[in-house]
Amino acid sequence: MSVEQLDLLAQLPAGQPEPVADADVLHQLEQWVEVGWLRALDRALAVFLLDLAPDSDPLVLLAAALASHQLGHGHVCLDLGATMQAPDLSLSLPPEGQETGRDILLPSQLLKGVTLDAWLQALAASVMVDRQPEGEQPERPLVLHGQQLYLRRYWHYERQVLAALGRRLRARPALPSGLPQGLERLFADSRQQPDWQKLACALAARGAFSIITGGPGTGKTTTVVRLLALLQEPAVVAGKPLRIRLAAPTGKAAARLTESIGRQVGSLQVSAAVREHIPTQVTTLHRLLGSRPDTRHFRHHAGNPLALDMLVVDEASMIDLEMMANLLAALPAHARLVLLGDKDQLASVEAGAVLGDLCRDAEAGRYSEQTQQWLEQVGGQSIAAAGLLAGDERQHLLAQQTVMLRHSHRFGTDSGIGELARKVNHADPQAARRALGQQCYQDLHQHMATGLDDPRLASLILGSGAAEASLPGYGDYLQLLAQQRPAADLSAEDPTWEEWAGHVLAAFDRFQVLCAVRKGPWGVESLNRHLAELMHRRGLLPAAQGWYEGRPVLVTRNDYGLGLMNGDIGIALMIRERPLHAGEPERMVLRVAFPRNDGSGRLRFVLPSRLTEVETVFAMTVHKSQGSEFAHAMLVLPEARSPLLTKELVYTAITRASRDFTLLETRPGVFEAAVAQPVRRVSGLDLGSEVNPRD
Ligand SMILES: Nc1ncnc2c1ncn2[C@@H]1O[C@H](COP(=O)(O)OP(=O)(O)OP(=O)(O)O)[C@@H](O)[C@H]1O
């Protein structure tokens, strides 16, 4: 301990917590791990650094553990400035639903007496920390850039993404021949002015990278199908059809897009030869890149790029930084990459809110004069009167290849869901509340629950209450399960078994309870238990624990052996199965039915004991619901306000509903506080300064 540190300690009034520089940081981290505030691996990083450099300043060890902790919360790095300003809030400690322990120091208490300068100086002086951009010391595990501390791997991902996007944005692939005519033909029925769908196609056609963002029903799929036709038509005529692939981050999102693309391609006004070369199968990003079990590495990378000329990725808000870096690395330089997604949705649970970061200028437009002229020339549309902010190529390079679709074709002015989503997106709690209360919106419902035993809660869940008679609930799939069950003596070969299971899955998919948090009485864990017990008590389920018929489960980890992807939903059903050995009789067994998600409409039946990474899914977190859509979605807000309750979370929940949305509250004011709180993700993915060199 230095003389200065001893002095500092002496100045502290008795009873004050020790400042971090003098506390045993590892012991403190251990305590946080014990109470579940930190992951063991966060502390392990500090231990690792201490092994490498036994003289390490405690502030360096603490920063390393906290940078690792922040990664677990979706932040690519630790922002030391923000941490010093509001330590507990920016570190989300104590975690959601947990009380402050009496003997547990809060980060704010631990950091008392530490200044930002002292912390930065300790880091800058450490042999474990590479100071960027002053010098590159690649053997050091931590990277300090300004006030942001990174684990080296994430620093690299960010640099890779910035460099790859910069290259792609500067590349100008050859324009497809007859572009203005092609656009005119495909958008002959255009009624919008300007027609952002048409302009999105034009911009995507001219670049090696583009983003099409928009809220639900703004026509992202419609646009991309026309874009594929626009690019494929001249390629087919030239006898060199493009190799096009479609992908999405999760199996569920891929299945949804497969369905909607298939519908749209069917109604496209193109020749059979062109149609034949427009794909409708959507794969997951993991499958596309060729994930290998037990490693973070993919089969496709810079040394073994994907064999394609164009890649479209839907639901791009779910792409995390690591996946984005891997994807860009595996993409051949000549290929076009188009990202589709809703920038206002929650970001991936993993570190990095890539789409949100990339879309910072999407709302404002920021098109340069050259881009505006080009759009007018090629797309025949002026955007001068669209009320956007002016931009220039040097400062807003990415904006030149970004289009925000601004008109919802699904949610018109009479749609409460559309109106509520807009108000929430504008962070206007009062207007959102007014929309919820307006009688004219038949698709919006709200209820303040008195407790878990509230009878209205039960009727909403089951969908059988008088007021909610027409609202889908879980009663529907359970009723279908029981009433349409094939006769027990029907042969296992009979397709009726699979048809029945398919109907049960489809009926379950029409309703979903969405939770904002995992812990606490209104968190996903407690609510799942409660709902299973409720349905068991009512005789709708044979049990409420373990494996029972009717149990819906969510896959929480990819399992390539079983062909199941994180996010897949299955339901346990008693079905008749062929015998394993000849001569034995067929038997009734409990199997979990999952959609195959390969566009075939078929199911796979899995032995429950083989499913190790699943959880019951009567309630699901809003995070997990991304990429899914339900006729009726019900958002349950907890009693306590929390930094996790943000407008992005509420918006994402609302936009999961295609027909009806119900807000279930448990305490007044929590909804308003959530809508007023935007999400805060720390990253250095600032394309303004990095992709667009100013010199
Ligand atoms: N320009 C248009 N004119 C008329 N209808 C349109 C237009 N664009 C899209 N639609 C219709 O609006 C609906 C939603 O379109 P689409 O599925 O393409 O939107 P999306 O943004 O992909 O939606 P999602 O939120 O599901 O991702 C579809 O029924 C589609 O036919």
**DSSP code string of 131-155:** EETT---TT-SEEEETTEEEEHHHH
Q: Are residues 66 and 186 in the same domain?
A: no
For residue 515, give both structure tokens. Answer: 């939770």
CA of 307 to the centre of ligand 1 (A): 30
Question: What atom in ligand 1 is closest to the CA of residue 405?
Answer: 21
- Of 409, 629, 630, the residue with max ligand 1 atoms within 8 A of its CB, to mutate for a pocket test, comes to 409
- Residue 355 counted as domain residue: yes
Task: Work out the angle at residue 643's Cα, subtended by the Cα atoms of residues 639 and 644, and round it to the nearest 5 degrees.
Answer: 80
User: Of 518, 581, 571, nearest to 549 (Cα)?
Assistant: 571
Q: Report the pLDDT value the prediction gives residue 536, as an integer from 0 to 100.
A: 95
Question: What atom in ligand 1 is closest to the CA of residue 222?
Answer: 18
Helix (H) or strand (E) holding 84: helix 80-85
Q: Are residues 199 and 244 in the same domain?
A: yes
Atom 16 of ligand 1 has which residue's CA nearest to it? 219
Q: How many independent structural domains does the chain possess?
A: 2
User: Rounded distance, CA 254 to CA 249, Å?
Assistant: 7
Q: Report the pLDDT value the prediction gives residue 16, as an integer from 0 to 100.
A: 45
For residue 81, give both structure tokens. Answer: 């400035």
Q: What global pTM score does this model have?
A: 0.84
Tallying the residues shown for the chain, one arrives at 695
CA of 148 to the centre of ligand 1 (A): 41
CA of 218 to the centre of ligand 1 (A): 5
Cis peptide preceding 94, ω within 30 of 0: yes
Question: What atom in ligand 1 is closest to the CA of residue 629?
Answer: 26
- Residue 449 counted as domain residue: no
- Residue 444 counted as domain residue: no
Q: Report the pLDDT value the prediction gives residue 640, as an integer from 0 to 100.
A: 82
Give the rounded distance of the alpha carbon of 39 from its chain centre: 22
The residue ranges of the chain whose pLDDT is under 70 are 1-23, 96-102, 134, 349, 464-469, 597-599, 680-695
- Find residue 214's DSSP bridge partners: 405
Show binding-site residues for ATP.
Answer: 214-221
Residue linked to tokens 């670049």: 207
* Ligand 1 contact, 292 CB (< 6 A): no
Q: Are residues 369 and 277 in the same domain?
A: yes
- Residue 569 counted as domain residue: no
Q: Are residues 179 and 126 in the same domain?
A: no
Q: Report the pLDDT value the prediction gives residue 200, as an integer from 0 to 100.
A: 94
Sign for the CA dihedral angle at 489, 493, 499, 504 comes to: positive
Distances (CA, A) of 551 to 260, 416, 519, 572: 28, 32, 21, 5
Helix (H) or strand (E) holding 222: helix 220-237
User: Of 35, 303, 270, 165, nearest to 692 (Cα)?
Assistant: 165
- Residue 230 counted as domain residue: yes
Q: Are residues 135 and 283 in the same domain?
A: no
Q: Are residues 113 and 189 in the same domain?
A: no
- Is residue 461 a contact partner of residue 513, using CB atoms and an 8 Å limit? yes
Q: Are residues 245 and 294 in the same domain?
A: yes
CATH, residue 58: 1.10.10.1020
Give the rounded distance of the alpha carbon of 163 from its chain centre: 23
Atom 19 of ligand 1 has which residue's CA nearest to it? 219
- Is residue 636 a contact partner of residue 527, using CB atoms and an 8 Å limit? yes
Final residue in a domain of this structure, among 404, 421, 445: 404
Q: Are residues 177 and 84 in the same domain?
A: no
- Residue 256 counted as domain residue: yes
Q: Are residues 179 and 326 in the same domain?
A: yes
- Of 189, 221, 318, 422, the residue with max ligand 1 atoms within 8 A of its CB, to mutate for a pocket test, comes to 221
Q: Report the pLDDT value the prediction gives residue 492, as an integer from 0 to 100.
A: 87
CATH, residue 360: 3.40.50.300
Atom 5 of ligand 1 has which residue's CA nearest to it? 409
- Residue 359 counted as domain residue: yes
Q: Are residues 96 and 235 in the same domain?
A: no
DSSP letter for each residue of 480-544? HHHHTPPPTTS-TT-THHHHHHHHHHHHHTTEEEEES-SSSTTSHHHHHHHHHHHHHHTTSSS-S
Q: Report the pLDDT value the prediction gives residue 584, as an integer from 0 to 100.
A: 83
* Ligand 1 contact, 219 CB (< 6 A): yes
Range of the domain at 55: 20-146
Final residue in a domain of this structure, among 404, 434, 462: 404
Q: Are residues 334 and 186 in the same domain?
A: yes
Q: Report the pLDDT value the prediction gives residue 333, as an integer from 0 to 100.
A: 92
Q: Are residues 194 and 131 in the same domain?
A: no
- Residue 65 counted as domain residue: yes
Residue 248 per-residue DSSP state: E
User: Of 281, 282, 277, 349, nearest to 313 (Cα)?
Assistant: 282
Final residue in a domain of this structure, among 355, 386, 404: 404
